[in-house]
């Protein structure tokens, strides 16, 4: 977060904790005017520091979902197509490139074991996917 001042960083921390906080509430917490906070948020959005706002489910709701991390080895020549194919699978929540034996790691969520099995089969069937290893998430100790 280079070239952000301390106020921008504090504003981002507040928004990360509660993206629905009103600009008035943020202004009070930062000791700034509401219009100054609005201007800072707009500037951060224009610069691409803030790309959007999201929804976080509480852990009780998420606990009903089956979650897994899938490590994927790929044919490097087909990596771009694999990325596109994975982005089309709604159960795939994140995709990251990594170093080591595997090339990609993805987080997958499904409501049932049958649906998880179908998602894992779909990932394995993507052209260029050479090997997958799946770890089912048993619990989440904390999430930021």
Domain-wise residue ranges, the chain: 6-46, 59-136
Residue range 88-107: mean pLDDT, rounded:
96
Instruction: Look at residue 140 in the predicted model and tell me its pLDDT.
Output: 82
Sequence-distant (6+) residues with CB within 8 A of 96 are 104, 105, 106
Q: Is the pLDDT of residue 1 over 60?
A: no
- 59-136 folds as Alpha-Beta Plaits (3.30.70)
Q: Where does 6-46 sit in CATH, by number? A: 1.10.10.10
User: Rounded mean pLDDT of 57-74?
Assistant: 85
Q: How far is CA 8 from CA 11, 16, 24, 42, 134, in A?
A: 5, 12, 16, 11, 39
pLDDT at site 64: 79
pLDDT digits (tens, 9 = 90+) for 16-61: 888 899 999 999 999 999 999 999 999 999 999 999 887 777 766 6
HSE of 132, CA atoms in CB hemisphere, 13 A? 23
Q: Assign 84 to helix, strand or coil.
A: helix
- Please tell me the predicted confidence (pLDDT) of residue 57: 72
Which stretches does DSSP call E strand in 21-89?
Answer: 66-74
Dihedral-angle region of residue 128 (phi above 0 means left; psi in -120 to 50 means alpha; beta otherwise): left
Average pLDDT, the chain: 92
Q: Tell if the pTM clears 0.75, that is, is over it.
A: no
With a cut of 90, say whether residue 127 has pLDDT above it: yes
Percentage of the chain beyond pLDDT 70 is 94
pLDDT at 54: 79
């Amino acid at each position: 977060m280079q070239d952000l001042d301390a106020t921008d960083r504090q504003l981002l921390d507040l928004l990360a904790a509660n993206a629905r906080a009103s600009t008035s509430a943020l202004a009070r917490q930062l000791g700034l005017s509401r219009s100054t906070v609005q201007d800072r948020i707009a500037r951060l959005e224009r610069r691409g520091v803030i790309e959007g706002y999201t929804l976080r489910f509480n852990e009780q709701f998420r606990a009903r979902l089956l979650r897994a991390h899938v490590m994927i080895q790929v044919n490097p020549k087909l990596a771009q197509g694999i990325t596109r194919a994975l982005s089309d699978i709604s159960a795939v929540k994140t995709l990251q490139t990594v170093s080591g034996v595997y090339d990609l790691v993805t987080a997958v969520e499904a409501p049932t074991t049958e649906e998880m099995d179908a998602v894992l089969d779909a990932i394995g069937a993507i052209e260029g996917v050479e090997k997958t290893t799946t770890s089912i998430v048993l619990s989440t100790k904390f999430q930021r």
